Structure 1
């Protein structure tokens, strides 16, 4: 039995799906901390990451015109400043800026490499299906999609900071289904997060392709919930 039979449209998550092809952004960033020998332990980094994400969600550090390199620079700066304030890093402004620049630059290059795999998948599917993007983001996702040559592939964009609802609230996926214009059972959701993509998408009646990879940890996983499980976005087209 084809689990993805009669799919008419595809909803994509962005962060962790299109830009990292299944790696949680915390793991991508931590790998760059290690690569550039930033002298903090992983637990301290995780605390800095959480601080930064909460700050970005609460305050308008990111503006609509910021591209993804700008976002990475802001994230890295917030993390480094927090680590210094917590005395996990020396309070040396030049060194902190150097660390932040190295992390942002190398993460951006990482995404450019990943897009060599994921962008062709999105492009291919856009020729066969209506595509909608549903993302928890900062109000600048269209700038980022345009910068990466992805914007024209999507018929609609549902961005949390614009619509006022965030994953894991199923309501954001309901907005995606409404924008799609098809019944939920004929809509496929593709995302990397079990709790923020798989569970809420199934709650509104969509079928789901879980892009299983290097997650944040701590989630309760039931692999019977998604309709299909993939580990690389390039595996998706042959299933449709």
Structure 2
């Protein structure tokens, strides 16, 4: 019987690519006095390139931007602080996010989230999406002291939520950190399709979050 559904955050529930673009456009406009000598499109494109879809922390990104473009009047620490404080105001959810979570909660499923990242930063983004109340527990790598794809993190989450691996489904976008890692601990896996990756060895694939409740229902009926 399926009793629990666990989710990744970035690229699964949060449209991080759109959020980053929205944020960096706004940062350029707000800090135009310091970065205005750089063409806006170039600043945005270079930030996105250096960010590598979130796998490079922003201290290194801003240090490189200052070095390359000779940004003066602001230290990289101040640019990083601006990112930490302001990104939450630019969070873009994938379509049908709250409706999907609402349907799952209405079926009395235990909901959890496992996400890599800085603790307060990720929690601020989750709150900005308005989805924190739907989750029985949220596990953020910094606060848990371990990160995906460490199987210990997945087992810890399952134990805390009091669901067995074979009673749960994980939904994520990364073929390794999410899909393979969850399968390795015995969970069913739904891949939230991402154009950046060509394939993931999941039990099912979705393009839209609205497809998830039906897939979960089919898994329950198949038991």
Regarding TM over 0.5, the answer is yes
Match of 1:238 in 2: 214
Q: Which runs of 5+ in 2 are unaligned?
A: 29-39, 217-223
Match of 1:156 in 2: 137
Between the aligned partners of 2:44 and 2:94, the Cα distance in structure 1 is 29
2:8 to 6, 9, 13: 13
Structure 2 contact 191–205 (Cα < 8 Å) conserved: yes
Q: Which runs of 5+ in 1 are unaligned?
A: 1-5, 56-74
Are 1:136 and 2:139 counterparts?
no
RMSD: 3.5
Between the aligned partners of 2:175 and 2:112, the Cα distance in structure 1 is 19
**Structure ranking higher on relative contact order (CA contacts 8 Å, 6+ apart):** 1
Shift of 1:180: 2.5
Alignment size in residue pairs: 198
Shift of 1:133: 0.9
Match of 1:174 in 2: 155
Between the aligned partners of 2:19 and 2:125, the Cα distance in structure 1 is 18
Shift of 1:28: 5.6
1:125 to 87, 91, 104: 104
> How big is each residue's C-alpha offset from its partner over 1:178-212, in whole Å with a ceiling of 9 and x where there is no partner?
12222211100011111110010000000000001
Match of 1:29 in 2: 20
Q: What SS does structure 1 have at the residue aligned with 2:210?
A: helix
